[in-house]
Amino acid sequence: MMLLVRLPYRIALNDVSTPVDYYINEVATNHLNHNTRNNKTHKDQTRTYEMAARATTFYNLLLTSLQLLLTCHVTFAAGGKWDLLLSNVGISAMHMQLLSNDRVVMFDRTNFGPSNISLPNGNCRRNPQDPVSKMDCTAHSIEYDVASNKVRPLTVQSNTWCSSGSVRPDGVLVQTGGDRDGELKARTFSPCDDNQCDWVEINNGLAKRRWYSSNHILPDGKQIVIGGRGQFNYEFFPKTTSPNVIALPFLAETSDKGEENNLYPYVFLNTDGRLFIFANNRAILLDYVKNTVVKTYPAIPGGDPRSYPSTGSAVLLPLKNLEADKIDAEVLVCGGAPKGSFILASRKRTFVKALDTCARIKINDENPQWMVEKMPRARVMGDMTLLPNGDVLLINGGSAGSAAWELGREPVFVPDMYHPENPVNSRFESLNPNTIPRMYHSTAIILRDGRVLVGGSNPHAFYNFTGVLFPTELSLEAFSPAYLEPEFAKLRPKITSPKSQSTITYGMNLKVEFEVAGEVKGPVKVTMVFPSFTSHSFSMNQRLLVLDNVSVKRTSSVFGVLFGTSRNFEVQVRTPRSAIIAPPGYYMMFVVNQNIPSEGIWVRLQ
């Protein structure tokens, strides 16, 4: 049998992301996935496949270099640095959540087969109904300690595949749904520093099967769980609302036959207390208390889908002027795949170029309209992460195909920075590329020190490390944006007060003290970031607030005044006035000087 990988013989200047053409003999593919009568033939074919994978990776890196050289409307700062933290954390980080003790909980799914990390103390998970492992003595969830750069295995009993979650106001992670034995489960994880905490499972915590749904923390501290495969409704956790399951026809209206394209809807709490819900190519504003759609937004021009499996990503841009009577709110949706991409990839092995546009909308305008912007490159299955200074990082994904098993192609190695305050056509900046493909089931989250934690990538039904284009990825990396480079060290503030883990209240005047080795000029910003639950290219609950600045002054000791060595400052800011603007819970607080953020501190808003 023959495996042929054909690279395009030319690259057009106006389309530097032309996909690689893959011609893979289906019989060979099936042969590699089943037992073979001839082991030598199997090994030969596996080696051929691996050579093709290496050739593809080399090609993509070459293409990345050409993209950086040929793309004209991008700032070529090429900043940022990649660091490999751990080559093997034992699982593929399909889901990630940063907790208030600077530990990150990660998990994939229980019916993958054995992982690469054992459960502690010889423990095993026994499930006669599991189609893969009736008894599994390996972990499918881990806790990563940022400070020590170490992981420990956690025990999850039911299937967490393609689930959702959020952090409660008390810092406890609540995770909901999954597949098969996990579809009605809720699970909690309480942060600890003694390595004794683990998952607690809640049977029938949900009223409906939740698989590919989205969660959002609400002003009262509860969670709303929206959608999922075959679920055109929403419910609350804990179950305190009657009726607890409420129909949402919008989700049925946005489901494309044979593709869906409405899973993992993008959900954001608006500044009026209602929910902006985006699915497929359009959105509504929902009053979830009255179950009333109060606004219907137009479709993004072009009509192509941006939701799973035509997976793009989305963020609520930083909220500012929080004392205003009417607070502006803007949503940015980037990437995705043209309509039909999933069907073409899954049925015909045709991998269509992903979307190369973002769409931005002011959701509180009287007549809101989408403004479409061109990205530096096409991207599907990418992640969008809000940075402490208000910029948006686009990272991970591919430039052809769609989400789902084996359907993505052309890894995108180059992260792109989006500067929302810049004029149109000058908002994107291309950064230093990675070398590890981060395809389907990749994740990225912001850490308190300003780095972005990147992990995952497993486009296969099981752990698969050989004979495939994109092997299951168990490594963990950190991307350090340019603001962490040594040349900006003197501009980087250090918060001295309040102390981390302090409690703050709504509508208070807060004095934030900090020191800077270099010059402080321009407006100093204080930002608060809610840590996201990230999976399938969407960071649920991600929220950044720019606190209203009352005053900034330099504080000096007598010694400092005499010798000019004092570099201490304080800024008076106003905390958010209500839980509608900022739901209660733990936030990371940063001071930003000349676009350079400090290391964050944890504050609990209540």
**Res 602: pLDDT:** 98
d(CA 560, CA 175): 51
**Res 40: pLDDT:** 41
d(CA 536, CA 312): 9
Q: What is the DSSP string of 264-279?
A: S-EEEE-TTS-EEEEE
Residue pair 360/28 in contact (Cβ under 8 Å)? The answer is no
Q: And the tokens for 450?
A: 């300003």
Q: And the tokens for 189?
A: 């994880």
**Res 482: pLDDT:** 97
**Phi then psi for 247, rounded to 5 degrees?**
-65, 145
**Res 563: pLDDT:** 56
**Strand segments (E) across 275-351:** 275-279, 282-287, 292-296, 313-316, 330-334
d(CA 74, CA 68): 9
Q: Write down how long the chain is.
A: 606
Q: What is the DSSP string of 363-385?
A: TTSSS---EEEE-SS--BS-EEE
d(CA 276, CA 314): 12
Stretches in the chain below the pLDDT threshold 70:
1-78, 241, 556-566
Sole residue written with tokens 């002003």: 219
**Res 286: pLDDT:** 98
**Res 132: pLDDT:** 84
d(CA 193, CA 290): 42
d(CA 225, CA 231): 11
**Res 27: pLDDT:** 28
Hey, CA dihedral for 309, 99, 542, 219, is it positive or negative? positive
**Res 14: pLDDT:** 29
Cross-strand partners of 138: 118
- Of the candidates 274, 335, 522, 276, the one whose C-alpha atom is nearest the C-alpha of residue 421 is 522
**Strand segments (E) across 396-547:** 398-401, 408-411, 416-418, 428-430, 442-446, 452-456, 476-480, 494-497, 502-504, 509-515, 525-530, 533-535, 538-540, 543-546
